[in-house]
Amino acid sequence: MLKNFGWKTIKKYKLEIAMLTPLVLYIIGLTFVPIFNTILMSFQDPLTKEFGTLDNYKYIFGRPEFKDAFKNTLLITAIGLTLEMTFGLIIALMLMKKFRGRGLFRAVLLVPLGVPTLVSAVMLTYVFNTNGYLNELLYRLNLIQVPIDWAGGGMKTILMIVVADMWKVTPMIVLLLLAGLESISDDVYEASAIDGASTWQTFWNVTLPLLKPSITIALILRAIDAFRIFELPMVLAGRSTPVLSTYAYQEYNSYNNPYTSAAGSTILLVLILIFILGYLFIVEREKGVK
């Protein structure tokens, strides 16, 4: 029976298979295989090239830079996601209204998407440098006398990176949320208007629940990229505020150790997986309850 199933199915779906194959081959060959190789490498001993060693991981966990990187990555992702989602939602809601200049607003909104992250990072150093525009603004407003060291580490650096990231990323979130918002039919809003609901009530009880799938997707998409953040911390904060990606890069580049770098990358992968699976699990549970 299985034999029949196999051949017949292939025949029936040959068009589909033909259409699907290039994509699948490409992705497997050029993404899965290298990722798999790198993960394998993280378990290799650098000198003897044997497998099955956890030395690379032990080494990384002992490095203070790694612990910093881990903490920073979590902080940046958490704060960044919250702010980006909030602002993204607000802007998306605003774009639902028809107002003069909406087209212009939308066009400007897309510009950050097209600027290479490296370039935006460098431009933002002009803002956040010791002699930068932000300090200059604060100085002229008489709020500070001595320039603030934004890249000095600690919360201000994290916030700096978050703001820089938001510049590039909020437009994307707006687009995703906008798509979700527009798919909510007007009938729903009319019904709530008839019921005499206030704006807040409508938002909280009607819009938000219907928007949940959009928010989920946007959140997952952003989380994946937020955990992997690279150019911005590299340029804006340097080595004083490492994140997991820049740490993996340093291990590879400056310390010439691709094995520990691979371990770092793998840890990042695991972190992202945990986050996503955890999030999906919570969402599914809520759905189940309802």
Partner 1 sequence: MVKGQENDRLAKIIRILFWPTVIMVLFFLLVPVYIMVKVSLSAPEDILTQHPPFLIHNFTWDHWIKVFESGNLWEPFKKSFTVATTTTILAIMIAAPASYVISRMPKKVKYITILTLFLTRMFPEVGIALPISVKFLELGLLDTNLGLVLAHLAKELPFIAWILVGTFETIPRELEQAAMVDGASRLTALTKVVFPISLSGIAVAAMFVWLDSWNEFTYALYLTLSDRTLPLQTYYYIMRGDWFQSAAYATILTIPVVIVTFFLQRYLKSGYLSGAIKG
Partner 2 sequence: MKKKWYAKLVVGLLSATLLLAGCGTEATEPTTEGDNQSQEPTTLRISMGLGESEWQVMKEKVFPQFEQEHNVKIEAVQIEAADLPKKLESMDAAGKMELDLFTQDNMALAPLVEKGLVEDLSGYRDMIPDEILPSLTSVGEFDDKLYFLPYRPNVEITYYNETKFNEAGLTPPTNWDELLNVAKTFKEKEGIGRVAIKGTLDGNTTVHLYDFIRSAGGDPMVLNDEGSVKAYTFLQELYPYLSPDTKKADWNTMNQYLANESVYLGQNWPFGVNVIVKDGGKEEIKAYHGWEGPVKESHVLGGEVIGIPKGSPNADLAMEFAAYLMSKEVQEIFVSELGWPASRSDAYGTVADWQKPYFEAVDQALATAEARPNVTYWADVEKATNDAFREIVMEGKPVKPTLDKYHDVLEVAKNK
Contact set for partner 2, span 54-113 (CB under 8 A): none
Asked if residue 155 binds partner 2 (CB under 8 A), the reply is no
Q: Using an 8 Å Cβ cutoff, are 216 and 224 in contact? A: no
Could you tell which of partner 2, partner 1, none binds residue 62, using a CB distance below 5 to 8 A set by kind?
Answer: none
In terms of Cα–Cα distance, which of 166, 160, 142, 168 is closest to 237? 160
Q: How far is the CB of 46 from partner 2 (least distance, A)?
A: 10
All residues at 6 or more sequence positions from 261 whose CB lies less than 8 Å from its CB, including other chains? 248, 249, 251, 252
Pick what 16 binds: partner 2, partner 1, none; C-beta below 5 to 8 Å, kind-dependent: partner 1
Residue corresponding to tokens 């992702």: 77
Report CA-CA distances (Å) from 46 to 35, 219, 246: 18, 37, 21
Give the one entry of partner 1, partner 2, none that residue 240 binds, where binding means its C-beta sits below a cut-off of 5 to 8 angstroms depending on kind.
partner 2
Q: Which is nearer to partner 2, 81 or 124 (CB)?
A: 124
> Are 267 and 247 a contacting pair, CB within 8 Å?
no
Indicate which of partner 1, partner 2, none lies near residue 230 (CB less than 5 to 8 Å, by partner kind): partner 1
Q: Specify the stretch interacting with partner 2 by CB under 8 A; choose among 2-10, 95-103, 196-204, 235-243.
A: 235-243
Work out the number of other CB atoms within 10 angstroms of the CB of residue 43. Answer: 18
Decide if residue 253 touches partner 2 (CB under 8 A).
yes
CA 52 to chain centre: 31
Pick 112 or 153: Cβ nearer partner 2: 153
The candidate with the shortest Cα–Cα distance to 268, out of 3, 105, 35, 93, is 35
Q: Does 153 bind partner 2 (CB under 8 A)?
A: yes
Count residues binding partner 2 (CB under 8 A). 21
Task: Point out which residues bind partner 2 (CB under 8 A).
Answer: 47, 129-131, 145-147, 149, 151-153, 237-240, 250, 253-257
